[in-house]
Chains A and B, each alone.
Chain A
């Protein structure tokens, strides 16, 4: 397995509380991603990072913010959690293999978040 850990693995919280999920990698890969996975929607990109302090929005970024102060850590924050953010969150990493090569994404084990 690629060296990716996510914490916590499970969390139950209440509406309106802030929540931070952590992704940690030991592969020294440049790119990191946060996805959410919901029934009927598949995997959707929330935010991604292309380097330390370099981040950008994905398809479903509203209500989420991210930070990357070190290569190995990528944090996802829900500023004020809502029930619609109940989901399974996956972190992924990749490294550019050069022009014309596949940049495989490796996924972490996921965090199951329930917002009551």
Chain B
């Protein structure tokens, strides 16, 4: 079992839909949970991160962490065509230069 599993996709939704992206993990020592967004032929960029269980909101995006279930989610409200990208979950341990463990990524397409 890989340390981080991500729903495989791809995912296609109509504009305005609510999108739910999910990852599970096996290492209970992970402390930082991140979502990276990667547009086609670009490098990944950090979208959101959380440090503890619970929800964190940033505009139309909500990151959710459930440490008891080892499960993280990214919700996108009122999805837009500009949200079309690959979304990668990532996580690491606390401490300097703790290496990231990535999920495989899911490609989202938002249809106008």
Interface on A for B, CB 8 Å cutoff? Answer: 4, 30-31, 33, 40-45, 48, 50, 58, 90, 92, 94, 96, 98-100, 102-110
A40 near B104 with CB under 8 A, answer yes
B59 within 8 A of A: no
> Contacts A43-B102, A90-B44 hold; do A102 and B49 have CB atoms under 8 A apart?
yes
Residues from chain B with Cβ under 8 Å of A96 in the complex: 96-97
Per the 8 Å Cβ criterion, residues 31-88 of B in contact with A are: 32, 34, 41-46, 49, 51, 88
Of the A-B pairs whose beta carbons lie under 8 Å apart in the complex, a sample of 6, sorted by A's number, is: A40-B104, A96-B97, A106-B46, A107-B43, A107-B45, A110-B43
> Contacts A42-B102, A42-B103 hold; do A102 and B97 have CB atoms under 8 A apart?
no
* A-B CB proximity, top 8 nearest: A107-B43, A42-B104, A96-B96, A43-B102, A42-B102, A107-B44, A42-B105, A31-B97
Q: How far is the CA of A99 from the CA of B32 in the complex (A)?
A: 13
B46 near A108 with CB under 8 A, answer no
Q: How far is the CA of A105 from the CA of B98 in the complex (A)?
A: 11
Residues from chain B with Cβ under 8 Å of A40 in the complex: 104
B97 near A103 with CB under 8 A, answer yes
Q: How far is the CA of A58 from the CA of B51 in the complex (A)?
A: 24
B103 near A58 with CB under 8 A, answer no
B99 within 8 A of A: yes
Across the interface, name the chain B residue whose C-beta is closest to A44. B102
B112 within 8 A of A: no
Across the interface, name the chain B residue whose C-beta is closest to A41. B104
Across the interface, name the chain A residue whose C-beta is closest to B31. A100
Residues from chain B with Cβ under 8 Å of A58 in the complex: 99
Across the interface, name the chain A residue whose C-beta is closest to B46. A104
B18 within 8 A of A: no
Q: Which of A4, A102, A106, A107 has the most CB of B within 10 A?
A: A102
